[in-house]
Structure 1
């Protein structure tokens, strides 16, 4: 089972990857939205913002996110690490329910370019 520190590091790597993206992927990540990522097996949530193509984690709280972020992710810590490491395809994980992504319709359409 992944640790909180490993999950925070994985989110940092994801942010770095998004910041390096180009073209349509870069455009899709260039939102300014609140973000939460609930790690279900650790029952911890990372809270922050997606700004300028980067995820800025600003807080970590026990349990589910206390407020509804504009973009909400939920998964296990191991799945987060596998996604960021390229060992788990996001579309497959999302389609099977291993990863939950909730956002407004227009944001979902833009975010599909990241898949």
Structure 2
């Protein structure tokens, strides 16, 4: 099981990766949406915004998300670290139910270019 600090570093690394994206991936990451990432095995939620191609983590709280964000992710700490590190394919993990992604239809269509 990854630690809270490892999860936070993974989210920061993901934010850096999104900021460096170009083309269709850059356009998809340019959304301005509320975002939550629930780390199920740590029962902790990172909340913030996806804005200008970056993830801004604004809060960390125990338990599931207190409010429904426009883009919602849920996974284990190890899966988050593996996804960001490139050891786990997002589409396969999502298809296998290891990662949950919930968002409005328009956002899902835009985000699919990141997969």
Q: Which residue in 1 is equivalent to 2:59?
A: 59
Take 2:43 and 2:28, find their aligned partners in 1: how far apart are those partners? 29
The reply on whether 1:16 has 2:16 as its aligned counterpart is yes
Return 5+ residue gaps in structure 1 as ranges.
none
Partners of 1:28 and 1:69 lie apart in 2 by 17
The alignment's TM-score, normalised by the length of structure 2, stands at 1.00
* Post-superposition offset of 1:58: 0.2
**2: distance between equivalents of 1:73 and 1:57?**
13
Q: Partners in 2 of 1:30 and 1:94 — Cα distance?
A: 22
In structure 1, the residue matched to 2:96 is: 96
TM-score (norm 1): 1.00
Residue 65 of structure 1 aligns to a residue in which SS? coil
Aligned position for 1:7: 7
Aligned residues: 115
